[in-house]
Amino acid sequence: MPDDSKSDEKPSGSDKETAKDSVFKRPSVIPKHRQDLLKWNGWGYQDSQFAVTNQRTLTFTGQRYQLSGSEMPALVEWMEKALGASIDQRSPAKFTRPENIPPPVQVNADFMSAIRQLGLSHSDAGPDRLFRGHGHTLEEMFTLREGMFPRLPDLVVWPTSHREVVELVNLANRCGVVLIPFGGGTSVTGALLCPSGERRMIVSLDTSQMNRILWLDERNLIGRFEAGIIGQDLEARLAELGYCIGHEPDSLEFSSLGGWVATRASGMKKNVYGNIEDLLVHVTFVTPTGVIEKSCAAPRVSVGPDVHHLIMGSEGSLGVVTEVTLKIRPLPQTRRYGSLVFADFASGVRCLRELALRRCAPASVRLMDNEQFQFGHALRPAASGWTTAFVDAVKRFYVTRVRGFKPDELAVATLLYEGTPEEVAQQEALVNSIAANHGGISGGEENGRRGYMLTFVIAYLRDLGLDYYCVGESFETSVPWDRVLDLCRNVKLRIKEECRSRGVTQPVLSTCRVTQTYDAGACVYFYFAYNYRGLPDPVHLYEEVENAARDEILANGGSLSHHHGVGKIRQRWYSRSVSEPAVAAVRAVKSRLDPNNVFACGNLFEPAGGPDGQTEQKAKL
């Protein structure tokens, strides 16, 4: 059984931390009842969205983002040209009233009695259960707009400490209750969907109230954090103390530290700070048969297979992360953005390859193909005055006339440098020199800033598309350098061919970008969208196209996933990706750590002997 003999003792070197409790224990910006701030059927904040103005242009509402309050006069025209969409033809979401959310299916009386005695905060209210019964795949968002899931959690429980998680896991194991860990709810693999045929009570174990900084060790530059802390809270609190983690996934505003660990997450600035596996020093993991953790937080050990790598990527199937020790860094003195323009995508890829080889890549470097550049250009706010318009015209003239770059072929990279002023200046000069060797020219700091900040609003565009009969999604892979160009070309072509063969008559958006670089390869993101007006089952069509694209990725030497994970939607390729003996080993670990299948989320693979409920979720539309 799990052991709750846990200590939050600070290590040597952290004697100053008691004066910082107000920062350590500050409430999250995301409320306990998420529906008070976030959309119930879309991405992000309720006050932030793309909206059509009376002048038939698009604006971004709210005040939270750099783009907020801006009008984008070119975006409507781009939607019409790239997707055949029309702002005169809307597909509004249906409103699901709280009373229409299905009631709990199973209620375990012994479990309910025990959590009341333990004083664990809990709710069976429809909105609380709905928010924790899904992630953010296209299918899940479409279901929220058009129907309802066949099964939701029967209860939400909010533990507030490692000790309470241990009590909850022990209780679920005794009472025959299923637990599905919930962090920020940003999964894009179907990981949070409840198996529809599960006969037991399903409880969402929401870690959001476990959001404290437990201690900082400023001598060794490490910190101990509860796993439910949200990325933006973690970085904001550390910044007040002069530190950062530097892990910035696109979902930074809403995803949790525990989720990063459970999915082997990657961030935009990994070139300087590393991926989550590089940042992690120690982790505490609660399973039905005990608590897993190393006996020390040394920087490296050689004691057999690394149990941390058993926990990272487990996706809620083995247990739940409660506390994590991470490396911290002093805040960078300088942060500078930049951008590079290349004659074509291939030239940009060759430049990124050399940056990786010479180990001089900025904190973030991301290369967009031409289609994505055109899309990003359509998101550009209206020029604020004649001087801005004049300067933009001069830049366009130089790029297209003087340098001879073709507007329908050029590619753009956005850059972020972090470090001391001297380090940043030296690195920027070297990067620009390498880019010049590949025909690249500087696109300016402001374009780099815009490109980086657009990352945090891109997800809102899917909701806009759905309002006008357009479905869109992104997926990622990692691939060796010598296969990057072939893979990008072949997958984009495959997407378009599959859409046309399934009756899509309007233009199809199929685009990609390189987002992270390594010595041996790169991460590639694909985006695709199409107009589904007149098509009977757009979600099923989308799934068929994405599955074909995933087959194409694997055939071209790409991975099943770089950082999104497997979840439920990629189960069919899991064995092919890691081998049958490896799957058997993971199944054996699952059987040993969770013999009663308490963590029956159905991710990675179905339990041996078949699940109580099918892991493939089919929504009732």
Active centre residues (catalytic): 525
CA dist list (Å): 332 to 417, 421, 448: 10, 9, 18
Q: Which residues lie below 8 Å from residue 129, measured CB to CB, with a gap of 6+?
A: 101, 104, 123, 152, 153, 154, 155, 156, 204
Whether the CB-CB separation of 48 and 68 falls below 8 Å is answered with yes
Whether the CB-CB separation of 523 and 477 falls below 8 Å is answered with yes
Consult the annotation and say whether 316 binds a ligand: yes
Consult the annotation and say whether 410 binds a ligand: no
Consult the annotation and say whether 598 binds a ligand: no
Residue type, 359: R
Calculate helix-pair angle for 484-501, 538-555, nearest 10 degrees.
150
CA dist list (Å): 136 to 185, 456, 517, 620: 8, 15, 26, 17
Consult the annotation and say whether 182 binds a ligand: yes
Consult the annotation and say whether 583 binds a ligand: no
Consult the annotation and say whether 147 binds a ligand: no
Cα gap 564→560, rounded to integer Å: 9
Assigned token pair, 215: 């201690």
Consult the annotation and say whether 320 binds a ligand: yes
Whether the CB-CB separation of 252 and 278 falls below 8 Å is answered with no
Consult the annotation and say whether 581 binds a ligand: no
With 0-12 / 13-18 / 19 or more C-beta atoms within 10 angstroms meaning exposed / middle / buried, residue 106 is middle
Q: How far apart are the first and last CA of the chain?
A: 42
Consult the annotation and say whether 185 binds a ligand: yes
Consult the annotation and say whether 187 binds a ligand: yes
Consult the annotation and say whether 137 binds a ligand: no
Consult the annotation and say whether 318 binds a ligand: yes
Consult the annotation and say whether 591 binds a ligand: no
With 0-12 / 13-18 / 19 or more C-beta atoms within 10 angstroms meaning exposed / middle / buried, residue 601 is buried
């409920």: which residue's tokens? 613
Consult the annotation and say whether 266 binds a ligand: yes
Backbone angles phi, psi at 4, to 5 degrees: -100, 15
Q: Which residues lie below 8 Å from residue 131, measured CB to CB, with a gap of 6+?
A: 34, 35, 38, 40, 185
Consult the annotation and say whether 289 binds a ligand: no
CA dist list (Å): 279 to 243, 245, 271, 292: 14, 8, 12, 19
Cα gap 24→233, rounded to integer Å: 10
Q: Indicate the annotated binding residues.
A: 181-187, 263-266, 315-321, 462
Numbered residues of the known binding site for substrate: 462
Q: Which residue ranges are tagged as binding site for FAD?
A: 181-187, 263-266, 315-321
